[in-house]
Amino acid sequence: MQTYSYIIGTTWSSLVPSQMHIQVANELARRGHKVVLLVGENRTDVEDHGANPAIYTWPSRRPTGWQDFRFIYGLLGEYRPDCVLSDGYGSRNLMLLAGWLRGVPCRATWYHVMRRQLRLQTPRHPRWKERLLVLRRQILQGITKPYFIANSRASRLDLLEHSRVSPDRVYPFRFFLRDPLSNGDLPPPGDRRRVVCVGRLEGDKSQDTLIRAAALLKEEFPDLVVEFVGEGPLEEDYRRLAREVGASEVCQFVGRLPHREVFRRMAAATVCVLPSLTEAFGIVNIESLAVGTPVIASHTDGIVEIIRDGQDGFLFPPGDYRALAEGLHRLLSDPDLRARMSRSARERFLAEYEIGRNIYRFADLLERMVADAGRREKG
């Protein structure tokens, strides 16, 4: 069997993308490939240069500067990998550029955020700087010609529509996760009607839709609690909206929580809501399916590839709070329906999104990408 060398950039955490990369690194090493995991956030406590996978850490907590570029350029010179894979966050530009300069055949990154999502989010920089960053990304992409892994059919189409990327350089592969119930320490659903919404408090996540829906339901369901898990620039706006529509006693903003606690909240909830206006995939969807909690989500983009309307939950038109309230009413008032959807959700997770065979499929994909890149270089 042909063996390859990989350098995979990721974070070291319990979050889904991190765990996917850590697990696939182990699987590739098991198959005889040489693998390096390059992690951020100064996790020197996990460094191990002699193992396979070897673990290195970036010089900076967030790798974007000259020191980090020199580091990755040197590491590529030492290992001469066949593939560099970035998780698509802070280290992406450095890994792609250094990989191109070093002649790495397969330079790959994830595509997991829709262009419309970026437009709907609160700008982090002045408009001129946002445009400059977009231009820089486009120029870098044109120079380095990366391969992309798109986390849904919707994100693949979005990439092809907005970028000059050849379709044969875009590989679809959805996220997956380890079964959170394997430890058996998550609680069963509680007696109280509880709705959980997990996500950054941003415009594209559209938590205002859920706040307005909660206001329509609070009289009929006096024990209703709607928990918003996450932080973001719109938190004060959403708190104010809850007061204005009379839902402040129903809506609870609990902030950012440890990942295991998020699973606990999901498992104890009657339903999980994802009201995003656009979403490439929505990891929250499969996390909720994993703990057997039905999902009510927007009928948009990658979400419709995961949630089966009427089986694992309900889909509603994005931004339509009355339709969301109707779906919530059906689940909150019918325990038998909730139980059926819970079983369906759990079965779908185990069949489609549990780490199981997906880790082997992910390793197969990375092997195929390197082989394809090698053939293109020769021919």
Mean pLDDT of 300-316: 97
Question: Quick check: is 334 in a domain?
Answer: yes
- Give the pLDDT confidence score for residue 43 in this predicted structure: 82
If asked whether residues 239 and 156 sit together in one domain, one would say no
pLDDT at 227 over 70: yes
Is 185 domain-assigned? no
What value does the mean pLDDT take over residues 73-101?
92
Do 206 and 125 sit in the same domain of this protein? Answer: no
Q: Would 140 be classed as within a structural domain?
A: yes
pLDDT of residue 349 exceeding 70, the answer is yes
Pair (32, 132) in one structural domain = yes
- 105 domain-assigned: yes
**170, 220: one domain:** no
Residue 317 lies in a domain: yes
pLDDT attached to residue 41: 79
Q: Out of 69-78, 117-126, 289-298, which region has the weakest mean confidence (pLDDT)?
A: 117-126
Residues 347, 259 within the same domain: yes
| Mean per-residue pLDDT, 295-312 | 97
**What's the pLDDT tens digit per position in 37-51?**
999 877 888 899 999
Residue 188 — pLDDT band, cuts 50, 70, 90?
Answer: low
327 shares its domain with 245: yes
CATH number (domain holding residue 211): 3.40.50.2000
303 and 219 in a single domain? The answer is yes
Same domain, 363 and 348: no
My answer on whether 170 and 300 are in the same domain is: no
Return the pLDDT at 189: 66
Note whether residue 155 is domain-resident: yes
Q: Are residues 20 and 141 in the same domain?
A: yes
Assess whether pLDDT exceeds 70 at residue 360: yes
214 shares a domain with 76: no
Residue 183 lies in a domain: no
Q: How far apart are CA 326 and CA 319, in angstroms?
A: 13
pLDDT(183) > 80: no
pLDDT score of 379 more than 70:
no
- Total count of domains within the chain: 2
Domain range spanning residue 300?
A: 194-353
- Inside any domain, residue 187: no
3-state helix, strand, coil in the chain (%, to 5): 50, 15, 35
Give 112's pLDDT tier (boundaries 50, 70, 90).
very high
Band (88; pLDDT cuts 50, 70, 90): low
Alpha carbons 229 and 218: distance in angstroms, whole number: 20
282 and 321 inside one domain: yes
